[in-house]
Amino acid sequence: MRQLTPRGLQARLAAGGDLPLLLDVREPWEFGICQIPGARLIPMRQIVARLSQLDRNRETVVICHHGIRSQQVAGYLEHQGFTNVINLQGGVAAWARDVDPAMPTY
């Protein structure tokens, strides 16, 4: 499974072009505290039911709090035939630490 650091994601987003889907799999209460701009929330527990809402070929960066849930979801997506899935290493906690220190944390 591909991994991307927060700084790597920042560079990828700054490069423009076809931007990846930022798929945040945390719970709504977590997403309400902090989020990477442009992220789409589909909680982990809803992924199976909402799989048809995702493009199997679109570059998708999966995000959670520390990178554990997102890695599980990324693996599941790959198993379902998604071809371009990336896990954000360290999740939003690492994003706040390395990219956006003003982001609220929990």
Tokens 């997506």, located at residue? 77
Q: Is the Cβ–Cβ distance between 94 and 10 less than 8 Å?
A: no
Domain 2-98 CATH (choose: 1.20.120.140, 3.40.250.10, 3.30.2020.10, 3.40.50.720): 3.40.250.10
Cα gap 82→66, rounded to integer Å? 22
pLDDT tens for the 106 residues of the chain, in order: 899 999 999 999 999 899 999 999 999 999 999 999 999 999 999 999 999 999 999 999 999 999 999 999 999 999 999 999 999 999 999 999 999 999 999 9
Phi/psi of residue 40, nearest 5 degrees: -110, 130
Catalytic center residues:
64
